[in-house]
Structure 1
């Protein structure tokens, strides 16, 4: 291959690269939106009775495990966030729990699981909340401060810095 041909191919590739970059930037700019997205919603649309039961369970867990609860507002940068999905039967007994989301902090995971297990049995759910297998499923988030204490998102105060 001649030197002229090789340099022409190099210029073409370089020019094509710039063209692709410009096209990517142009198309990428189309996806930018000034609107802020709404909050992430897990699961089905909100059911007021289910939300009320979830809050009552969060308050109950908070009472049972009061020594582990962060007083006041959670710190701005949390040590850990653990989300558990759990099932409660018609009598209020914890029948299943699964780690829904975590950040790898095994101590926080264990604390969240133990606080849930210590609180069982819970107040019994309304029959209208039960699924066909006789359970109600709840997703709750534990917000951990650096000292290892937590608040439950359903009943937590606003974080420091979230005015």
Structure 2
């Protein structure tokens, strides 16, 4: 049995774990930039997160292909779940694959938690800012103030009588 596809799968999962660790670091810098109101650093962090998300997507697609190769190597259905395939893997690689799988799963959960926390932090800051603006400028009537300046709400639509 050729173990290449199994090692490729393990390496892929390890690469994904590394990228998720990098995402956690960038998220921390992003949060710090928000606190400092450093717009350039915020934009840089957003760009880095976008690049990392492309890498995650690429690695995830590769992982699916490696799983298909593993299923073919084991003469199993491609639709079998990951853990079922791993239980059928040769004993030499099985433990490494299980460890890599749980590291990946743990990293995904950590990233989801950080994103949820960051989103709640941003929403909290946004709500407080809106309340402050509403109190200080009670006559603004719904205008939004952004870094470049004031932007009013969309004006209400109106009907044009074309029969005139």
> Normalized against structure 1, the TM-score is what?
0.22
> Normalized against structure 2, the TM-score is what?
0.22
